[in-house]
Structure 1
Amino acid sequence: MNSLRFRWLALVGLVAGFTGWLVNWLATRNGYGTPTLPLTSLVTTAVIIAITLVFGRRVLQWRNGKRDRPLDPILATRTLVLAQACAYAGALSLGWHAGIFVDQLTLLSVRSTTAPLWGSVALMVGGTLMIMVGLVVEDFCKLPPDDDGTGAPGHSEGEYA
């Protein structure tokens, strides 16, 4: 399985940011509300981050030598996929709400409330945390290099557990 590419995360964030800005621009100029997630979605974000960290910790413990029982390869693979999905979802959320934030800044002088602005900031922080946790847990899933130097097949540096 390939590791996360920062270019792809940046591309997802930029496309989502432009789309968020455009949708918000169209919505607010036509009398609709700001198309952001509610702040209660931060609870869901926290749950996703916690689950990703719990599964990542299990893989990390096994990788670091606590091998009292074998690591289920399906669990390790699912943890890796969860970490990567978490990072991509974070990039999407960060980009979308950054685009809305930029458009809301231009409306600051005509609005009486800054609630959409602060809501976007909170959701951008949540997206950033998702990216960071995804990258860290993905790193948990990498196997350490072989100590014996034999280069056993399937266990070189940078491969996943």
Structure 2
Amino acid sequence: MTENGVSWRHATGVGGVVLVLSYVALKLGSTRGNTLPHNSWFALIAIVLLTVAVLAGGWEVRAYLRGQSTRPPSPQKARRALVAAQACVLAGAALAGWFAGYALVEAGRLEASSAFSGMVQAIVLFVASVGAVAVGLVVQAWCRIPDDKDDDDKPQGGGSVRA
């Protein structure tokens, strides 16, 4: 993580690693005769609800920083919104990698009757996970405190401090 928080590069890295690992594990398991784990539409509901919760948590911070609200959010609430946004980015990236790996394995076995519906479900869940990453990055940007221009103009006293 950088000073600016979690970036799209972090999300891409996490998603890529999980994609490769899940593809290899699922492909090995399916070639050995094991069935693939079943995805659930409940996962889509959970991803969407958690994404909406992160969005709502960051909205109060956004409103205050843009001058649309006169009531400042508590520091704890702002910190929770930021941490939730960063967790949303990383978890969404990991889920996107898993669902992409699952869809790729299902695409390779489309001759099976259940493979097409499993692949479509994995693609929908992948898109929802990428949406969670995007929302997390946006909310993280909302929680960034703008630089205070007044502090740059004041002379700093005391000289430099060396360890």
Look up the equivalent residue of 2:71 and give its one-letter code.
Answer: R
Quick check: 2:7–2:137 contact (8 Å CA) kept in 1? no
Alignment match, 1:159: none
Quick check: 1:56–1:137 contact (8 Å CA) kept in 2? yes
Alignment match, 2:104: 102
CA distance in 1, matches of 2:153, 2:22: 48
Alignment match, 1:112: 113
Q: Which digits, 9 at most, give the CA deviation of each residue in 1:97-133, with x for residues without a partner?
A: 111212221111x212311111110110111110000
Tell which structure's C-alpha radius of gyration is larger: 2
The structural deviation recorded for 1:143 is: 1.8
The structural deviation recorded for 1:2 is: 4.1
Look up the equivalent residue of 1:138 and give its one-letter code.
Answer: Q
Alignment match, 2:33: 31
Q: Which digits, 9 at most, give the CA deviation of each residue in 1:49-71, with x for residues without a partner?
A: 11111111101011111443232
TM-score of the pair, normalised by structure 1: 0.84
Q: Which digits, 9 at most, give the CA deviation of each residue in 1:126-147, with x for residues without a partner?
A: 111100000010011012343x
The structural deviation recorded for 1:152 is: 7.8
User: Structure 1 residues 15 and 27 mapped into 2: Cα distance closer, same or farther (>3 Å)?
Assistant: same
Q: Which digits, 9 at most, give the CA deviation of each residue in 1:2-57, with x for residues without a partner?
A: 41133321111111001111121122223332235312111111110111111111
CA distance in 2, matches of 1:68, 1:8: 34
Unaligned runs of 5+ in 2: 155-163
**Percent identity among equivalent residues?**
28
Q: Which digits, 9 at most, give the CA deviation of each residue in 1:80-100, with x for residues without a partner?
A: 000000011110011111112
Quick check: 1:97–1:120 contact (8 Å CA) kept in 2? yes
1:10 aligned to 5, 9, 12, which one? Answer: 12
Alignment match, 1:156: none
CA distance in 1, matches of 2:153, 2:117: 57
Alignment match, 2:53: 51
Unaligned runs of 5+ in 1: 154-161
CA distance in 1, matches of 2:124, 2:46: 13
Over the aligned positions, Cα root-mean-square deviation in angstroms equals 2.0
Decide which structure has greater helix share. 2
CA distance in 2, matches of 1:57, 1:36: 35
